Amino acid sequence: MMDEKRELLRHTVATVAYRASRAITDAPEEFGTFEGGGKAPVKILAHIGDLFDWSLSMAEGKPRWHKSDPLPWADEKKRFFASLGAFDAYLASGDPLHVAIEGLMQGPVSDAFNHIGQLAMLRRMAGCPVGRENFYVAPVVVGRVGPEQADPPKR
């Protein structure tokens, strides 16, 4: 049986997937290289993928950081969701965590939320804004960590 902290972390990882999908889905290919606000979105997304690769390595007890060179936008989106999926699969496995859940939450997971906010802001700056949504009622589902997310509730 999973402990409550681990289940909450899995819910948080699913929330990352849901929010990230809103920030990157249906963004035009050229959005990945938009340069109107600091780092290009593809570089930010590569960093978020690196955060979850790092999270997995820490959870497995083999911490390592790797800074990835960004892939083309479509490929980087796939890599991000693959990184998130691998981390969630480890959490779901019940294998021992070799790091405190609190550290994962306050470090890489919280950092990912900040960067997802950057992507949403850059979408607006690039002229392809993300629609408004009440995330409190979002249909976030533990284990749903890929790009296929439920539609937002009707307003």
Asked if 130 and 149 count as a contact pair (C-beta separation under 8 A), the reply is no
Residue 154 lies in a domain: no
Residue 141 lies in a domain: no
Domain extent for 55: 4-27+41-130
Structure-derived torsion over alpha carbons of residues 94, 99, 101, 102, reported in degrees to the nearest 10:
170
Residue 8 lies in a domain: yes
Q: Look up residue 107 and give its two tokens.
A: 């470090």
* Distance, CA of 6 to CA of 2 (rounded, Å): 7
| pLDDT given at position 36 | 83
Sign of CA dihedral 20, 22, 26, 27: negative
Element (H, E) at 125: helix 110-125
Residue 155 lies in a domain: no
Residue 35 lies in a domain: no
- Residue found under tokens 């992507």: 119
Residue 115 lies in a domain: yes
pLDDT-based confidence at residue 139 (cuts at 50, 70, 90): very high
Residue 56 lies in a domain: yes
pLDDT-based confidence at residue 2 (cuts at 50, 70, 90): low
pTM of the prediction? 0.95
**pLDDT single digits (tens) 34-78:** 998 789 999 999 999 999 999 999 999 999 999 999 999 999 999
Residue 22 lies in a domain: yes
Count of the separate structural domains present in the chain:
1
